[in-house]
């Protein structure tokens, strides 16, 4: 049956700036249909909205599906082989078992060709008749393929019947055509097996139905999956920081944004699942609701069609405060004036804050040597994490005393806005823990190159 289930999930729905989370990839494959016989019921909508090209393309898709299953089982003489059967249930006002679980390709295609569009849409009766068809199935797997182009308009609630079928081990695929008045996507997802991303396909164009049915038949008939390669690339504002060991295969980090997961074979001898998790950290400037994927590529020898979903999360970085540039005031200095006094107008207070003055002593500075100094100011939160608040560099002039002296430096100023306060609870005039580092080095030295 090839790859029957795949998904991509995130460990959280919301993070803060620079926070990490886990990404989980999952994949399930089932053996070749020749060694794993399947009973399949095609449940086909023939309500009035299907008239015209929709019913014609549906018939082409269903017949292509039958042909692919016939070929995959090694069928001969017009008979599906290997213990696999296909049944046809169509529905409008009520559902009809057009063909039981049989192997005759001609009879199955004749049942499909005999469909005519007309009437309402009774999904309840469609599921009920299909489940009854599978009650005596002895195949390794039972599959329903529900195709519909609209909402339930008559009959009971189909959800309990679909739930009952899944509880009995039936795999349900939902195919929706949304171009004829809309589709109940939530209903299709509720009916389908989990995760819906692997078992639900919706198209607005009935011309795509034939290819959708072909892709589904090929996935069902594929011999598990071999030489699997999954390449997952996250957006540039995220960085992959760690990989867990996959339950099957091996994983490597291609670069800080890309991982590659390889599996030699999956689901070749029996239905088999595999998972792989890796850790991602937000490191860029994306904010608000954002996707994590840039792309996820899948390939295997059997040509299974796998389109992993692209989950989203909310990144909360807060709203940056953007202060407008002040309007300039023009003034002219004339002649040899040493000082100028003028009115610069009103100055608007943009945000509250404090000014931090740092004083320090540089001990034993020798004569005639300038000193380069860097002052680093960080704020420390309750967990001991440091947050950058300022960085200043300055040059201390050389002194001319006759011996080394301590040099006292005063009033290195930093502005510390209130909106950067990391204290809890936040508020005006909180106590704030600061950490200062001083780096100092001589600029001048006595070294001279030898003649």
218-237: pLDDT as tens digits = 878 766 889 999 999 999 99
Lowest mean pLDDT among 70-79, 178-187, 328-337, 440-449: 328-337
CB atoms within 10 A of CB 328: 7
What is the per-residue burial (b if ≥16 Cβ within 10 Å, else e) of 266-281?
bbbeebbbbbbbbebb
Contact between 90 and 129 under an 8 Å Cβ cutoff? The reply is: no
Q: To the nearest whole percent, how much of the chain has pLDDT over 70?
A: 92
User: Which H/E stretch holds residue 113?
Assistant: helix 105-113
User: Which H/E stretch holds residue 67?
Assistant: helix 53-72
Which are the contacts of 395, defined by CB distance < 8 A and separation ≥ 6?
A: 370, 371, 372, 373, 443
Q: For residue 187, what pLDDT band results from cuts at 50, 70 and 90?
A: very high
Phi, then psi, of 24 in degrees rounded to 5: -125, 120
CB atoms within 10 A of CB 249: 18
User: For residue 337, what pLDDT is reported?
Assistant: 67
Strands 200-203 and 171-177: parallel
Q: Of the ranges 49-53, 385-389, 399-403, which is most confident? A: 49-53
Distance CA 332, CA 323 (A): 27
Q: From 5, 3, 4, select the one nearest 26 (Cα to Cα).
A: 5
Lowest mean pLDDT among 285-299, 405-419, 426-440: 426-440
Q: Which residue has the higher pLDDT, 197 or 106?
A: 106
Which are the contacts of 167, defined by CB distance < 8 A and separation ≥ 6?
A: none
Q: Is this model's pTM higher than 0.85 or not? A: no
Distance CA 130, CA 101 (A): 10
User: For residue 196, what pLDDT is reported?
Assistant: 80
User: Is the fold of 2-31+224-316 the same as that of 38-221?
Assistant: no
Alpha helices (H) in 135-255, listed in sequence order: 159-167, 185-191, 196-199, 209-221
Which two three-digit tokens encode residue 311?
């989950």
Q: Given CA atoms 151, 153, 154, 156 in this order, what sign does their dihedral have?
A: positive
Could you tell me where the beta strands, DSSP code E, fall in 256-337?
258-266, 272-282, 288-291, 293-299, 312-316
Distance CA 228, CA 390 (A): 50
Write the pLDDT tens digit of every residue in 126-140: 999 999 999 989 888
CATH value of 2-31+224-316 in 2.60.40.1180, 2.40.50.100, 2.60.40.10, 3.40.50.720: 2.60.40.10
Mean pLDDT value across residues 152-178: 95
In 3-state terms the chain splits into helix, strand, coil percentages (rounded to 5) of 20, 40, 40
Domain 38-221, architecture per CATH: 3-Layer(aba) Sandwich (3.40)
Distance CA 148, CA 188 (A): 9
Q: In the predicted model, is pLDDT for residue 252 greater than 90?
A: yes
Q: Which residue has the higher pLDDT, 417 or 404?
A: 404
User: For residue 198, what pLDDT is reported?
Assistant: 78
End-to-end CA distance of the chain: 84
Q: Given CA atoms 29, 34, 36, 42 in this order, what sign does their dihedral have?
A: positive
Q: In the predicted model, is pLDDT for residue 320 greater than 60?
A: no
Give the start-to-end residue ranges of the domains of the chain. Answer: 2-31+224-316, 38-221, 353-442
Q: Which residue has the tokens 């003649």?
A: 451
Mean pLDDT value across residues 75-99: 95
Q: Which residue has the tokens 């086909």?
A: 44
């Amino acid at each position: 049956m090839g790859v029957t289930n795949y998904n991509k999930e995130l460990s959280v729905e919301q993070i803060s700036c620079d926070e990490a989370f886990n990404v989980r990839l999952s994949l399930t494959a089932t053996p070749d249909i020749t060694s794993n016989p399947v009973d399949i019921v095609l449940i086909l909508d023939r309500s009035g909205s299907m008239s015209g090209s929709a019913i014609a393309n549906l018939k082409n898709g269903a017949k292509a599906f039958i042909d692919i299953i016939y070929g995959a089982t090694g069928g001969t003489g017009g008979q599906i082989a290997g213990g696999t059967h296909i049944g046809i249930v169509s529905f409008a006002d009520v559902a009809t078992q057009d063909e039981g679980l049989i192997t005759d390709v001609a009879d199955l295609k004749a049942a499909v060709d005999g469909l005519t569009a007309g009437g309402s849409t009774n999904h309840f009766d469609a599921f009920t008749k299909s489940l009854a068809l599978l009650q005596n199935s002895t195949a390794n797997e039972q599959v329903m393929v529900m195709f519909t182009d609209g909402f339930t308009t008559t009959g009971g609630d189909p959800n309990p019947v679909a739930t009952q079928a899944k509880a009995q081990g039936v795999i349900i695929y939902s195919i929706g055509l949304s171009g004829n008045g809309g589709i109940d996507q939530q209903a299709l997802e509720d009916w389908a097996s989990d995760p819906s991303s692997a078992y639900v396909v919706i198209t607005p164009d009935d011309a795509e139905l034939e290819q959708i049915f072909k892709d589904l038949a090929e996935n069902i008939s594929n011999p598990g999956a071999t030489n699997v390669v999954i390449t997952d690339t996250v957006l540039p504002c995220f960085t992959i920081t760690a990989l867990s060991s996959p339950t099957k295969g091996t994983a490597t980090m291609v670069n800080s944004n890309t991982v590659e997961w390889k599996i030699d074979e999956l689901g070749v001898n029996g239905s088999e699942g595999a998972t792989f998790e890796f850790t991602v950290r937000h490191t860029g400037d994306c904010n608000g609701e954002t996707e994590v994927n840039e792309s996820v590529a899948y390939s295997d020898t059997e040509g299974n069609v796998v389109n992993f979903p692209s989950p989203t999360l909310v990144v909360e970085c807060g709203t940056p405060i953007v202060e407008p540039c002040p309007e300039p005031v023009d003034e002219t200095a004339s002649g040899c004036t040493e000082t100028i006094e003028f009115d610069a107008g009103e100055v608007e207070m943009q945000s509250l804050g404090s000014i931090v003055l740092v004083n320090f002593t540089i001990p034993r500075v020798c004569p005639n040597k300038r000193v380069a100094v860097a002052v680093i100011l960080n704020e420390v939160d309750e967990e001991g994490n440091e947050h950058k608040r300022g960085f200043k560099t300055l040059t201390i002039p050389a002194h001319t005393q006759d011996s080394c002296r301590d040099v006292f430096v005063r009033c290195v100023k930093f502005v510390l806005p209130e909106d950067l306060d990391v204290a809890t609870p936040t508020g005006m005039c909180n106590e704030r823990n600061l950490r200062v580092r001083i780096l100092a080095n001589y600029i001048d030295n006595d070294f001279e190159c030898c003649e």
